[in-house]
């Protein structure tokens, strides 16, 4: 009797749930590997001003695999690194956008040469240093991360994380594989501990005294400063924009492009245009603390404070080294091979 009751209750819950989840309307669908919080409020705003509905899935794992298997389920893809969309482009999973506005307003380095995706925003992979233990000017570039002077004093997340793979692939495209191999080897020598946790965890390592310098994306500083629990980690450190006199800092690109789905191309293009419009860019910059692709968009104060006191940095504006994406992704396999050979992730 109990079993029957349980089963019928389960059946009821099931039918309720299925009706609740089914029933798609005509909407723009977005596939993204970004953190939901970064985009949800922007989408809500867009829905209100344009009267369309946006449905999004945030696939933190296997976005490319999903796009490959169901190429037309979404209209727009938004990713946290350009590498993924470059791969998608090579697999023929993206559609060329046709937009005079984008061509006219966005600088060339933020547009794919074949117009298949755009860079919406970007953030440099910077060096966080201890306020107590690292003097200003003592660390200036990526080369310092592998300087024997910092042996056992550097924190980095897993080498296989998307950010580090993109970073190392850019380095490989820029400086060659040999230089990259010696960088990975030197970095491993300098590690304070086995790579673990996210970027913020590395900065926290500085706060906890485990290490003196760490590699992480720039926006984590404003994010930490706005969170009462993490504020002390941010306050214990300062941001150094690397290689400002040697070509500039490598950046992670937040990118967006149209899929091959054919039903809502015009609406999706409009959304894409909005994402790189002044209003969209302001929204993105203020929620993510990243740098806008569109020129003339004001930076929030928390971003303007980055790199204060570092020579050449004014109001958080830094020199970036943009490596064209088509040159970056072919390096990925070689980079992974080197990480494996050096066994970077185990100390």
Partner 1 sequence: MRNWLSGLALAVFAAPTLFVLYKAVTVPDLTALTRFGATVLPGYVGNTLTLSAIALALALLFGVGGAFLVAFFRFPGRRLLDVALVLPLMLPSYLVAVVYREMSHLHTWSPAVESLGGAAVILALTLYPYVYLLTRAAFRRVAMGFIEVGQSLGLNRVEIARRALLPLAMPAIMLGGLLVVVEVVSDFGTASILGVRTLTTAVHRVWFSMFDEGLAAQVALIGTLFPLALVVLYGLVTRGRGFAGPSNRPIAPRRVALGRHAGRVALAFCGVPVVAGFVWPVAIMLFWAAGAFDRFRLDSLYHDLLHTLTVAAGTTVAAVAIGLGLALAARIGDRRAWRLGTLWAVSLNYVMPAIVLAVAMLFVSGWMYGSALGGWLVDSAALIVFATTLRFTAFAYFSTENGLQGVSTRVDEALLCSGRRRLSGLLRVVLPMIRGPVVVGALLVFVVAAKELTLGLVLQPFGFRSLAMSIYYFADIDLYGPAAIYALCLVMVVAYPVLSINRWLGAR
Q: Which is nearer to partner 1, 182 or 227 (CB)?
A: 227
Instruction: Please report whether residue 295 would count as binding partner 1 according to CB under 8 A.
Output: no
Tokens encoding 79: 């990713």
Which residue in the set 160, 174, 317, 334 belongs to the binding site for partner 1 (CB under 8 A)?
160
Q: Which is nearer to partner 1, 208 or 245 (CB)?
A: 208
User: For residues 322 and 250, is the Cβ–Cβ distance under 8 A?
Assistant: no
Nearest distance from C-beta of residue 57 to partner 1, angstroms: 5
Runs of H (alpha helix) within the chain: 2-21, 36-50, 63-69, 82-90, 100-105, 162-175, 177-190, 199-207, 220-225, 231-235, 265-275, 278-288, 301-304, 325-328, 332-342
Site pattern 59..78 for partner 1 (x: CB under 8 A): xxxx-xxx-xxx-xx-----
Instruction: Please report whether residue 319 would count as binding partner 1 according to CB under 8 A.
Output: no
Nearest distance from C-beta of residue 256 to partner 1, angstroms: 17
Q: Which is nearer to partner 1, 98 or 340 (CB)?
A: 340
Q: Which is nearer to partner 1, 70 or 308 (CB)?
A: 70
Would you give the distance in Å from CA 345 to the centre of its chain?
Answer: 21
Instruction: Please report whether residue 321 would count as binding partner 1 according to CB under 8 A.
Output: no
Instruction: Please report whether residue 103 would count as binding partner 1 according to CB under 8 A.
Output: no
Nearest to 117 by CA among 80, 85, 153, 69: 85
Size of the site for partner 1 (CB under 8 A): 61
Instruction: Please report whether residue 198 would count as binding partner 1 according to CB under 8 A.
Output: yes
3-state SS, 31-87, equals EECCCHHHHHHHHHHHHHHHCCCEEEEECCCCHHHHHHHCCCCCCEEEECCHHHHHH
Instruction: Please report whether residue 226 would count as binding partner 1 according to CB under 8 A.
Output: no
User: For residues 87 and 329, is the Cβ–Cβ distance under 8 A?
Assistant: yes
Nearest distance from C-beta of residue 32 to partner 1, angstroms: 12
Helix (H, G, I), strand (E, B) or coil at 243: coil
Using CB under 8 A, list all residues that contact partner 1: 2-3, 6-7, 9-11, 13-14, 16-18, 20-22, 24, 29, 35-37, 55-62, 64-66, 68-70, 72-73, 87, 158, 160-162, 165, 194-198, 200, 204, 208, 227, 230, 332-333, 336-337, 340-341, 343, 345-346
């Amino acid at each position: 009797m109990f079993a029957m009751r349980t089963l019928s209750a389960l059946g009821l819950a099931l039918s309720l749930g299925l009706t609740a989840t089914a029933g798609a309307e005509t909407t723009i669908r977005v596939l993204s590997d970004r953190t939901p919080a970064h985009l949800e409020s922007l989408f809500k705003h867009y829905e209100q001003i344009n009267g369309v509905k946006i449905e999004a899935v945030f696939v933190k794992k296997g976005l490319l695999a999903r796009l490959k298997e169901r190429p037309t389920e979404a209209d727009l893809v938004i990713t946290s690194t350009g590498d993924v969309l470059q791969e998608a482009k090579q697999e023929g999973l993206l559609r060329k956008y046709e937009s005079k506005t984008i061509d006219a307003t966005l600088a060339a380095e933020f547009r794919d040469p074949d117009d298949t995706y755009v860079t919406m925003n970007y953030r440099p992979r910077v060096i966080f240093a201890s306020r107590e233990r690292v003097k200003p000017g003592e660390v200036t570039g990526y080369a310092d991360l592998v300087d024997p002077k910092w042996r056992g004093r550097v924190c980095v997340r897993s080498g296989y994380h998307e950010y580090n793979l993109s970073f190392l692939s850019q380095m490989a495209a820029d400086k060659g594989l040999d230089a990259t191999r010696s960088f990975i080897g030197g970095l491993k020598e300098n590690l304070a501990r086995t790579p673990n946790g996210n970027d913020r965890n590395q900065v926290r390592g500085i706060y906890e005294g485990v290490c003196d310098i760490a590699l992480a994306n720039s926006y984590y500083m404003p994010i930490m400063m706005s969170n009462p629990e993490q504020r002390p980690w941010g306050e214990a450190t300062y941001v150094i924009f690397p290689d400002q006199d040697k070509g500039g800092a490598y950046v992670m690109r937040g990118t967006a492009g149209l899929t091959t789905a054919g039903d809502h191309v015009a609406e999706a293009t409009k959304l894409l245009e909005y994402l790189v419009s002044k209003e969209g860019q302001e929204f993105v910059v203020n929620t993510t603390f990243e740098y806008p692709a569109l020129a003339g968009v004001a930076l929030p104060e928390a971003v303007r404070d980055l790199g204060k006191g570092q020579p050449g940095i004014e109001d958080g504006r830094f020199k970036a080294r943009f490596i064209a994406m088509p040159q970056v992704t072919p390096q990925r396999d070689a980079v992974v091979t080197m990480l494996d050979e050096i066994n970077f992730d185990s100390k």
